[in-house]
């Protein structure tokens, strides 16, 4: 969860910069064409950021700060493009649906607190685990 929060803080700053540079100023109007375009750009950048870093390194900046890494469930290798895409899509794409997206996001990440392998729904969909690289402890170990 700490890594997720760090990544969201990064994109809060990125989003503010994009909105400002797009001409939305200090108080953008939600629903205005400038705001909507800028929000879509930030959302796309966030998806690309997470997809590329998880596929290639198994870690985002947030994961690195939290000391965790995302790996394949069966052999602890890097997730690769397919699994990273499934993981990112499962966690992020429902967020575009007002209210229900937020409910799903909470369920997706909250699932790890009740799962014996500490997998969120996005990890289950992608067949990934999160490992603690500081202590080389696997959260999903049976």
Per-residue pLDDT reduced to its tens digit, 19-61: 777 766 655 566 677 777 777 888 888 899 999 999 999 999 9
Q: Which range among 7-11, 20-24, 61-65 has the greatest average pLDDT?
A: 61-65
Pull the structure tokens for residue 139. 């959260």
pTM of the model: 0.81
Per-residue pLDDT reduced to its tens digit, 70-112: 999 999 899 999 999 999 999 888 888 888 988 998 898 889 8
Interatomic CA distance for residues 68 and 26, integer angstroms: 35
Cβ(113)–Cβ(123) under 8 Å?
no
Work out the burial of residue 77: count CB atoms within 10 Å of its CB; fewer than 13 is exposed, 13-18 middle, 19 or more buried.
Answer: exposed
Instruction: Spell out the domain ranges in the chain.
Output: 2-138
């Amino acid at each position: 969860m700490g890594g997720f929060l760090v990544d969201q803080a990064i994109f809060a700053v990125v989003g503010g910069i994009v909105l400002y540079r797009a001409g939305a100023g200090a108080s953008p109007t939600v629903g205005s064409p400038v705001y909507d375009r800028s929000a879509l750009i930030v959302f796309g950048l966030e998806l690309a950021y997470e997809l590329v870093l998880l596929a290639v390194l198994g870690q985002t900046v947030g994961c690195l700060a939290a000391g965790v890494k995302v790996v394949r469930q069966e052999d602890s290798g890097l997730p690769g493009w397919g699994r990273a895409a499934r993981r990112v899509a499962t966690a992020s794409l429902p967020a575009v649906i007002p209210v229900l997206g937020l409910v799903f996001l909470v369920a997706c990440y909250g699932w790890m607190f009740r799962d014996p392998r500490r997998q969120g729904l996005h990890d289950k969909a992608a067949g990934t685990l999160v490992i603690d690289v500081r202590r080389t402890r696997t959260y999903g170990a049976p």
